Structure 1
Amino acid sequence: MGGSSPCASCKLLRRRCAKDCIFAPYFPPDDPHKFAIVHKVFGASNISKMLQELPIQQRADAVSSLVYEANARVRDPVYGCVGAISYLQNQVSELQMQLAVAQTEILCIQMQQQESALPTQMHQDHKSFLLLPTNDNIDSISQYLNLASSSTVMQDPAPLKIESLWT
């Protein structure tokens, strides 16, 4: 950087920004929060070591990942972005269960409609092995699926508020 204003890291650390500053390409002076959050979580020397160990073409992606994880760590110091990922995976599982229940209910309704549309003599024909669910069976299936969906999916009593971590 040299002659112009120092990069965000050198400005925060109150040092002169050298021409070959490892932070300058990734922490521009117009975005000081980006370095501040990463520095707060990982420390300047650790960031410097990480960047030096990477090929230049991978450093920008590494900085993006560090910023993302640092923002997640500020929100959840124990789990970071893994906590957000776990929360979202639980949401997907819960929604998949709800979808399966809804699809089963649709199937049951369709089977009820088919049963009511069949002529009564077909039900009484002993040569036919057509087994259709009764209303009692359909209710039991529905109750079982409702019980399964409520007991197998962990409900989070205080849902995590998902916000953008890319600030």
Structure 2
Amino acid sequence: MNSGRCAACKSQRRKCPSDCIFSPYFPANDPQRFACVHKIYGSSNVGKMLQEIPPNLREEAANTLYLEAKWRIEDPIYGCVGIISSLYKQIQNAEIELAKIQTQIAFYKLQTQQQVIEAEPNMEVLQSQSSNMEQFEVDNLFEWENPTIASWFN
């Protein structure tokens, strides 16, 4: 029990009873919270809803009623559905962007693998050319240094 009246009782200009259903969820220091809920649902309906809900779920219900009422006041046509739709579109756009990026990564990986595969045969050609060149140098070495020894290998 708060020492003063809750926002609901202040709004309705009545004394706040000790077992006030609104008191825990609509404190006096936040009158705008109750004003939004009252404007959309009415205090009688909110009181009935809170009484029908188990005590452990009432705080969550009061928060939900407040947020839905606030969004309904901000956007009378779509309310919270407009917010949800906007968030859903943002998620879809993010998923599309993620798919594009994953495709680009896969493309670059394939392109890199392709370059490695193309480079490997070239490395073999270069290595075989290099060994052929060494053999050529050895053959020429024998011819220049000692023509008699070179004739033994021919």
SS at 1:119's partner residue? helix
More helix by share: 2
Against the structure 1 CA distance between its residues 22 and 121, is the aligned structure 2 distance closer, same or farther, given a 3 Å change threshold? closer
TM normalised by structure 2 equals 0.69
Name whichever of 13-22 and 83-92 sits farther off: 13-22
Corresponding pairs, count:
121
Aligned to 1:101: 100
Give the aligned residue type for 2:34. F
Percent identity of equivalent pairs: 47
User: For the pair shown, which has the larger CA radius of gyration, 1 or 2?
Assistant: 2
Q: CA deviation at 1:49?
A: 1.2
Higher RCO (CA < 8 A, seq sep 6+): 1
Against the structure 1 CA distance between its residues 14 and 117, is the aligned structure 2 distance closer, same or farther, given a 3 Å change threshold? same
Aligned to 2:56: 57
Gaps of 5+ in 1: 123-167
Gaps of 5+ in 2: 122-154
Q: Structure 2 CA distance, aligned partners of 1:113 and 1:31?
A: 61
Q: Structure 1 CA distance, aligned partners of 2:98 and 2:54?
A: 45
Give me the CA root mean square deviation: 2.1
Q: Structure 1 CA distance, aligned partners of 2:118 and 2:29?
A: 77
Q: Structure 1 CA distance, aligned partners of 2:98 and 2:104?
A: 10
1:117 aligns with 2:116: yes
Q: CA deviation at 1:97?
A: 0.8
Q: Structure 1 CA distance, aligned partners of 2:45 and 2:26?
A: 15
Spell out, residue by residue over 1:69-111, the C-alpha distance to the aligned partner (whole angstroms, 9 max, x if none). Answer: 1111122222222221221111111111111111111211222
Aligned to 1:87: 86
Q: Structure 1 CA distance, aligned partners of 2:91 and 2:25?
A: 34
